[in-house]
Amino acid sequence: MTSPALVVLNAGSSSLKFSAYAVATPTQSDANGPQRLLTGQVDAVNGAAHARAESADGRLLEERHWPPDQAPGHEGALAHLLAALPHWLGEHTVAAVAHRVVHGGMHYSAPVRLDTAVLADLDALVPLAPLHQPQGLAAIRQLMATAPALAQVACFDTAFHTTQPAVAQAYALPPQITDLGVRRYGFHGLSYAHIASRLPSLRPSVGLRTIVLHLGNGASACAMRNGESVASSMGFTALDGLVMGSRCGALDPGVVLYLIDQQGMDVRAVEHLLYQQSGLLGVSGLSADMRVLQASNDPRAQAAIGLFVYRIGREIGSLAAALGGLDSLVFTAGIGQHSAPVRQAVCEAAAWLGLALDPEAHAEAAVRGEGCITRPGSRVQAWVLPADEEGWIAFEACGLLWPA
Ligand code: AMP
């Protein structure tokens, strides 16, 4: 007898992340969500690629390198994964695949079962996210061709933000531009939905007005009221808002006009500058990796971290205004969960809101990777919580395919 497994795919610009879960009927509590069987990723798919997979209990399943002249590309990486999965999964067989899809546009506010009509809708959104949407859709298309009987589900980074009021989604542009779909969507929604699912178990102390800081290589902030998104730092694209690893974050659109008009840069060159050469990497001139910057004595590294923190502090003020006050602040993702110096500096920037960091609790959370980090009487509570976008995708997809 075999048991069904759900595979979760997260196809990025140069990587393919994957996990597999034992199929389970989800309950409201995230803690009772699907049980992870294995996880792994293929990095640098178009160059010196490297694959690694391990079981949920940490057993190494595979470690493999490809030389650059044999780079598998996204398609080869997925084909490799599909061939390897039956060996890794043992008694489980792949019953369905769920994908992280960056953009669901105005229409998709919940996970959806994929067919050719839905895929056509999602294809039409590529111009809104040309750097992020195509890889996910290519994986879907590849599976439709090679395993047409396999159920596939798309889970969207934008979906969580569809609860935002119209005023939070609007740009001050004429309606004919808005009607093209030019509005604020917000991203990192799968991470925010997972964090929102954990908030009820932390109440009443976390209160109803929360700002979640997803601080990873991509970084954004989301204001939630009672677990629903009411505003976020990212807008039309995943370029807006906070300083990121190599993305600039909020920028006066006049800068783009100046670079094109006065500096003779073409659109692709500006795109490359803003997505790949800016942010922590651009300011420091050293690295997009927070660990490297924290370990460096170079003043440019400290300037980059200083700007990163300053902009988070300003965004907290803006989102607290959208919420009409603040009860709690949550740190998540690579930097949010693991960088104690960044958390401390952000908490100091938010002290005016009544947030009092507890050094002992902070040190404890740094060891455990989660926990409350503010003093018992602090007016605003701060928490560290781990991100789990893939676990959330599994939870959503199981809810759709195997409802209770
Ligand atoms: P993510 O995109 O969520 O995987 O996060 C990636 C970011 O987290 C990179 O900038 C890493 O440098 C950062 N990061 C991971 N671990 C640490 C750590 N121990 N201290 C500081 N930054 C970290």
- Asked, for residue 99, whether it belongs to a domain, the answer is yes
Residue 388 has which token pair? 């789990």
Residues 107 and 218 in one domain: no
The response to whether residue 214 sits with its C-beta less than 6 Å from ligand 1 reads no
* pLDDT at residue 25 in the model: 63
Pocket test for ligand 1, best of 188, 281, 296, 339 (most atoms within 8 A of CB): 339
Instruction: Give residue 146 CA to ligand 1 midpoint distance, Å.
Output: 35
Q: Cα–Cα distance between 250 and 242 in angstroms, integer?
A: 6
Q: Which of 156, 175, 208 is the last residue of a domain?
A: 156
Instruction: Tell me the backbone φ, ψ of residue 245, rounded to 5 degrees.
Output: -55, -55
Looking at residue 404, its pLDDT comes to 80
Residue among 157, 240, 358, 388 flagged as catalytic: 157
Same domain, 218 and 342: yes
What's the pTM value of the predicted model, to 2 decimals? Answer: 0.94
Atom number in ligand 1 closest to CA 293: 12
Residue 369 neighbours by CB under 8 Å, 6+ apart: 337, 338, 384, 386
Whether residue 333 has its Cβ less than 6 Å from ligand 1: yes
> Is ligand 1 within 6 A of the CB of residue 12?
no
- The pLDDT assigned to 143 comes to 96
Angle between helices 389-401 and 189-202 (to 10 degrees): 90
**403 CB burial (10 A radius; 0-12, 13-18, 19+):** exposed
Type of residue numbered 224:
M
pLDDT recorded at residue 14:
85
Q: Is residue 173 part of a domain?
A: no
209, 346: one domain: yes
**Does 212 share its domain with 73?**
no
Looking at the structure, tell me whether residues 232 and 375 fall in a common domain.
yes
Quote the ligand 1 centre to 288 CA distance (angstroms). 10
In a domain, 8, yes or no: yes
Q: Are residues 355 and 220 in the same domain?
A: yes
Residues composing the chain: 404
295 assigned to some structural domain: yes
Say if residue 216 is in the same domain as residue 343: yes
Tokens of 357: 């960091």
Whether 338 lines ligand 1, by a CB cut-off of 6 Å, is yes
CA of 197 to the centre of ligand 1 (A): 23
d(CA 83, CA 382): 44
Verify that 316 and 195 share a domain, yes or no.
yes
Q: Do residues 27 and 116 share a domain?
A: yes
Atom of ligand 1 nearest to the CA of 294: 21
- Whether ligand 1 lies within 6 angstroms of the CB of 334 is answered as yes
Q: With respect to residue 171, please indicate whether it lies within any of the assigned structural domains.
A: no
> Is 128:103 a contact under the CB 8 Å cutoff?
yes
Phi and psi angles of residue 107, each rounded to the nearest 5 degrees, phi first: -85, -40
Instruction: State if residue 279 touches ligand 1 by the CB under 6 angstroms criterion.
Output: no
Q: Does residue 182 form part of some domain?
A: no
- Quick one: CA dihedral 229, 213, 107, 236, positive or negative? positive
Residues in Cβ contact with 262 at an 8 Å cutoff, skipping those fewer than 6 apart: none
In this structure, are 202 and 142 located in the same domain? no
Rounded distance, CA 380 to CA 331, Å? 13
Among 224, 270, 278, smallest CA distance to 248 is for 278
**CATH number of the domain enclosing 361:** 3.30.420.40
Residues 6+ apart with CB under 8 A from 312: 213, 215, 219, 221, 242, 346, 349
- Residues 41 and 110 occupy one common structural domain: yes
Expressed as residue numbers, the domain containing 129 is: 3-156
Cα(336) to centroid of ligand 1, in Å? Answer: 8
Question: Residue 268 CB: number of other CB atoms within 10 A?
Answer: 8
Task: Kindly report, residue by residue over 325-359, the tens digit of the pLDDT.
Answer: 999 999 999 999 999 999 999 999 999 999 999 99
Q: How much is the pLDDT for 28?
A: 46
In a domain, 211, yes or no: yes
Question: Would you call 388 a catalytic residue per the annotation?
Answer: no
- Determine the pLDDT at residue 314: 98
Q: What pLDDT is stored for residue 27 in this prediction?
A: 56
Q: Is 289 in the pocket of ligand 1 (CB under 6 A)?
A: yes
Q: Read out DSSP for 55-94?
A: ETTS-EEEEEE--GGG--HHHHHHHHHHHHHHHHHTTEEE
Sign of torsion, CA 151 125 218 212?
negative
Token pair belonging to 310: 């300053």
* Pick from 189, 270, 250: nearest CA to 222: 189
User: Distance between alpha carbon 350 and the CA centroid of its chain, in Å?
Assistant: 23
**Would residue 164 count as lying in a domain?**
no
In a mutational test of the pocket of ligand 1, which residue from 100, 331, 335 has the highest number of ligand atoms less than 8 Å from its CB?
A: 335
Which atom, in ligand 1's list, is nearest to the CA of 342? Answer: 21
Q: Does ligand 1 come within 6 angstroms of the Cβ of 26?
A: no
Assess whether 147 and 252 both reside in one domain. Answer: no
Ligand 1 closest atom vs CA 387: 3
User: Ligand 1 pocket, 290 CB below 6 A?
Assistant: yes
Distance 76 CA to ligand 1 centre (A): 28
CA of 217 to the centre of ligand 1 (A): 7
- Say how many Å lie between the CA of residue 216 and the centre of ligand 1: 6
To which H or E segment does residue 217 belong? none
Query: How many domains, the chain?
Result: 2
Block means of pLDDT (10 residues each) for the chain, 404 residues, are: 91 91 67 85 90 95 93 93 94 96 93 96 91 92 95 97 97 96 96 96 85 96 97 96 97 98 97 96 97 97 98 98 97 97 98 97 95 95 96 96 89
Say yes or no: CB of residue 369 within 6 Å of ligand 1: no
